Structure 1
Amino acid sequence: MQKEEEKIVVNFFWKKDSETDWQYLKKSEDKFATELIQREYTEKVLKTICEQRKLIEKFVKKYNEKSVLDVVNKISEPKLEKIKMYVKDDMAYICDWYKKQEEIIAKASKYVYRIKAGEDIEIFD
């Protein structure tokens, strides 16, 4: 005895905004059904995006990028000397970066490079 393959049948229905009765879409109207399904999906995605955008805008209005740096401003000088800060203001960051660049230049300056056209690079200590 052989079992026949079961077929899954999906029926689509739709109604116009002004109508109350659902209308069956025939197999020949598959293209129209696809367009309706795509439209429904697009509307849901658009609604979700708009909701998420409102949340982001609300967050951005309340967000204060300097709030973490304000914590440092409220700490007394003796305490500041004892802590390692996680976040630095722009000037402190630039000063640290500049110091690191000077260290790199100092290490690199002990090497002298002489290059002649068509020759390999020679490195002298």
Structure 2
Amino acid sequence: MEWTSPEKMPLADVDVRFPQFKMEKKYDLKKVLSRMGMVDAFDQAKCNFSGMSGAKNVSLSQASHKAVVEVNEKGTEAAAATGFFLQASSLRQKPSFTANHPFLFFIRHNSSMNILFAGRFCSPEGEL
């Protein structure tokens, strides 16, 4: 997506206000991985995990992924990654943005510029 390209996101000091929130999502990967061709790992007759376990007939029974993003006054926590917001003082007035409506959010790894988490927040409630 071109609009998520770092070149399209100039650095700016902005006063941002948004609600505290925590989002969790668990994904069942067994069906997805099977459709992608990873079927032997779930079949006791065909799987081979001898490099990981001395036991025979060891197969995967489930595959799942859980993502958690929490945003509060202390910063942002996403799985094992934590970031903090810095505020610089300035004489000119900063533009402001108040997220009192649904919004998209992205958590980007600054060194690689890769987007690590993307989400959609649909129901801001309470005081901002």
| TM-score, L = length of structure 1 | 0.22
Is the radius of gyration larger for structure 1 or structure 2?
A: 1
If each structure's helix is expressed as a fraction of its own residues, which one has the higher value? 1
